[in-house]
Amino acid sequence: MPLPRLIPCLDVAGGRVVKGVRFEGLREVGDPVELGELYSEAGADELVYLDVKATLEGRDALVELVERIAERLAIPFTVGGGVHSAAAAAALLEAGADKISVNSAALERPALIGELAARLGSQAVVVAIDSAAGHVRTRAGTEPAGRQAVEWAREVEARGAGEILLTSIDADGTRDGYDLVLTAAVAEAVSIPVIASGGAGAARHIADALGIAQAALLASILHEDPARLTSLRAELRELGVPLRDAA
């Protein structure tokens, strides 16, 4: 198995990194390219950029942002938010992204996953699953999707997804640790890599998640502060997590 991965997540809106709860009260906190570069220098294994207001914006703006990120970053990055077609996804990959993440669009039209896999290869297709008490939620967690998380995970794998980004809405923002029960249930149900997300408050939480999942998404624990990533990496190494030597 490849080494466990730490993946900082940057929420972007209107071309800026923003902070806030979903659609409410977004506050600009930085430039996506600069912050991405600083995370890369601090040892991030990959980055995820989520366009949190994607449905309200033009797609060309996102392609331009991806072009700027690719010019400066030499580590892989995933782009998500509002991708509804294989053509739109291909444009983002051509601009320099490595993977595309889909969530609500895949729930609305599951065949999209197969179309993305056929066009881009499974290794470029991430399906994000937001779960509350084992039930999938859609539209940024606001609505029930009428599916069980484990069952949906199996289906997205069968349809060609290459990775699952699994967020526990129950754990998200609590800082009490990842939802290990949910993460283990999904990781056992599929044979593609799983990225655990939601709930990290301390290095111990991340180490626990990486005992089950292949990668951990880091969002609020970093506070958009690359120095926090550096210190977390050191703490994780002390806990015995075999992170790569990023030098």
**Positions marked catalytic:** 11, 130
Choice between 76 and 201, CB closer to other proteins? 76
Distance CA 9, CA 48 (A): 5
Least separation in angstroms between residue 93's CB and other proteins is 6
Q: How far is the CB of 129 from other proteins (least distance, A)?
A: 16
Which amino acid, residue 97? A
Query: Residues interacting with other proteins, by CB under 8 A?
Result: 1-5, 40, 45, 67, 70-71, 74-76, 93-96, 98-99, 118-124, 162-163, 191-193, 214-215, 244-247
C-alpha of 219 from chain center: 9
- Residue (34 or 143) nearer to other proteins, CB: 34
- Whichever of 1 and 111 has its CB closer to other proteins, that residue is 1
